[in-house]
Structure 1
Amino acid sequence: MGVPGTSHSCGDGALPPTNLAYFDDMRKLHSNAIVAGVITEGERLAVVLDQTILHPQGGGQPFDTGSIEAVDGTIKFCVTDVRTKSGVVYHYGNYHENRVMEATGFEPGHEVKISVDGARRTLNSRLHSAGHLLDACMSNIGLGSLEPGKGYHFPDGPFVEYKGTIPSSDLENKRDALESEANHLIALGGQVRATVASYSEAAALCGGRLPDYIAKESCPRIICLGENLGCPCGGTHVLAISEIGEIKVSQIRVRKGVTKVYYNLPKSEA
């Protein structure tokens, strides 16, 4: 699950597309970029860069926070929200009040340093990877007929959703089995890989077919956890399954033909 980006960048209008540098290195927390523009939207201010390691909100994953700073240290912009529109990533926030008085703000062409809040990124990545792992576990415990839907990988009540139902009499047994299988796979470990592939190669990684929203002429980004089947995803993830930590499946709800699996990561709670 995640923002279904099919390439590193796309966009329209006067602003150039933004290269999603975190596609290649999900652990990178510091990087350089060039300012493409500064946008005012009502009372909001946004900086657009030629590339970014800050993940925009989408695909069930929260936005990153961090900062954008001039290489000479004269200007610092605190990023409090990140969004994407037609392939252009907008870094919303405010200039730091201690910037040098002569510095009025960023201009197109300025070279800048990007920094990501590492603790927030780590938690978001763990939650997102946990959601993908639960998809694999559903098949392993005999619920492979349920079709994965949307996921909500936010700290305030994450869940993954499936088309299809589980008999009410079996919900508690399946909750126990799902939690047990997830923690078993975490104990086994394995690498988490992100691959941008041709449509046919991507389909093979995902068990022979891709969701209908993936265009056949595209090159989807696929996330694979260990030896489990992959899934199209534009989000950030852990690099090893063991980094997810313990998963707690708190409950399974069934309503109107949809099954929701709620989970959390106990060691991440305050």
Structure 2
Amino acid sequence: MLKNRLYYAEPECQSFTAQVVKTERDENEKPYVVLDQTAFYPTGGGQPHDTGTINGVPIIDVVEIDGEIRHYLSGEMDASGELDCNINWERRFDHMQQHAGQHILSAAFVELFEFPTVSFHLGTNLVSIDIEADDITDEQLKAAEELANKVILENRPIEVKWVTEDELYQYPLRKQIQATEEIRLVIIPDFDYNGCGGTHPEYTGQVSSLKIVSAEKHRGNTRVHFVCGKRVLNLLHDKTNVVAKASKLLSAPEDGIGKAIEKLLETNHSLEKSLKETQDAILSFESKELLSQQRNGLVTATFQGRSIQQLQKLARFIVAESDETIVLLVARNDDKLQFVAARGSLSTASMKDVSAAVLPLIDGKGGGNDAFVQGGGDYKLTEEELLKMMENSLTASIN
């Protein structure tokens, strides 16, 4: 065992003293210090690094490189003499709870369904494990969660043993261990035997509780998100606030929120349908008004703040009313221009020619066919100028 790593020798250690072995800069010119002993855990094995202070200067990162533990600080520090080191214990204990909870939940999936864990990530809000199973049912998730909480409630010891490669055969390991030297096992007797370099509490009861939040398919496996310890209370607090707010907004009791939302969605769907019908009626009326103002079978108009979908629908209404009419519509939306060109079924003019003529003028893109095109680009012309260009190209095409 590496005796200068107090996070292994004394995982409950919250403060300690140390001396500087080396001060250096890395390849990015970031300064760091190496101590003769440390309780600050370096990032590794899915667990984030510890934070805290050295002589009052905050630690921003702890990494291990080539067996050397580097402590990156937020500012300059007097590196002489004995240093006072203090760990951010709330963060460390949270990581210990989550990591131990991961061992317990992973072992539960193996115990119940022989689903091994292939990866682990300890995030700021959620913890996740990737389970080697392409699908896990809600019933299986519930069973694994219940077994995990049973083991937590039983307050079983969490033991740590350093063994040699030759001694590994004595333990029913959950997965194969790659290391050949300084092999560290984390053991929950009669339940889980696993090689691990992370930090853990001494008893499963210190994990407090575990709650699976969600599960999703991920690259052929199933990713399970969960929380442990204080994070369970934080999650419950947040969800309680959301439910209370929803209850107030919906004027419904908390156990009636589901039905209130269903009713709201039904009402919203009905309103959307009614609004669409009203908008179509307005566009139909507008199309007749524009058609009454046609000049020699040509309907033109410019707009501001009209979507391309509205232009398309308006053009279709017009050509549906008159087989011989050609429609040219242009709209400006902020610093963009959009247009639609359409022809009735008896017209032979090519709308693709119109689009091809004007798109380069606005650095635009478009699509469609000879009967109907749409496009858009930058506001390099006014909407009136673009419409005039479209009319000119149409005249040239017909002539």
TM-score interval w.r.t. the shorter chain? Answer: 0.7 to 0.9
Alpha carbons 2:174, 2:194 under 8 Å: kept: no
Alpha-carbon displacement from aligned partner over 1:20-77 (angstroms, at most 9, x marks no partner): 22111110111222211112344632111122100011111111011122xxxxxx43
Q: 1:192 aligns with which of 158, 174, 186?
A: 158
- What amino acid is aligned across from residue 8 of structure 1 in structure 2? L
Identify the residue that residue 170 of structure 2 maps to in structure 1.
Answer: 204
Shift in alpha-carbon separation, 1:77–1:151, aligned structure 2, 3 A: same
Q: 1:180 aligns with which of 113, 124, 146?
A: 146
Identify the residue that residue 150 of structure 1 maps to in structure 2.
Answer: 119
Aligned positions of 1:1-270 closer than 5 A: 7-8=1-2, 19-41=4-26, 42=28, 44-69=30-55, 76-95=56-75, 105-107=78-80, 110-141=81-112, 143-144=113-114, 146-166=115-135, 171-205=137-171, 207=172, 211=176, 213-215=178-180, 218-265=181-228, 266-269=232-235
- What amino acid is aligned across from residue 260 of structure 1 in structure 2? R
Alpha carbons 1:137, 1:178 under 8 Å: kept: yes
Q: TM-score, normalised by structure 2?
A: 0.54
Give the secondary-structure state (helix, strand or coil) at the position aligned to 2:156. coil
Identify the residue that residue 101 of structure 1 maps to in structure 2.
Answer: none
CA-CA distance at 1:162 after TM superposition: 2.6
Give the secondary-structure state (helix, strand or coil) at the position aligned to 1:222. strand
Structure-2 separation of matches of 1:60 and 1:208:
19
Question: CA RMSD of the aligned region, Å?
Answer: 2.2
CA-CA distance at 1:268 after TM superposition: 4.9
Structure-2 separation of matches of 1:221 and 1:139:
21
Return 5+ residue gaps in structure 2 as ranges: 238-399
Structure-2 separation of matches of 1:243 and 1:37:
36
Return 5+ residue gaps in structure 1 as ranges: 1-6, 10-18, 70-75, 97-103
Alpha carbons 2:32, 2:72 under 8 Å: kept: yes
Alpha-carbon displacement from aligned partner over 1:114-151 (angstroms, at most 9, x marks no partner): 2111111110100000000011111232x21x332221
Shift in alpha-carbon separation, 1:225–1:56, aligned structure 2, 3 A: same
Shift in alpha-carbon separation, 1:91–1:212, aligned structure 2, 3 A: same
CA-CA distance at 1:212 after TM superposition: 5.0
Identify the residue that residue 14 of structure 1 maps to in structure 2.
Answer: none
Bigger Rg, structure 1 or 2:
2
Shift in alpha-carbon separation, 1:257–1:65, aligned structure 2, 3 A: same
How many positions carry a matched residue from both structures? Answer: 232
Structure-2 separation of matches of 1:138 and 1:31:
38
Q: TM-score, normalised by structure 1?
A: 0.78
Structure-1 separation of matches of 2:234 and 2:185:
26
Bigger relative contact order, structure 1 or 2 (CA pairs below 8 A, ≥6 apart): 1
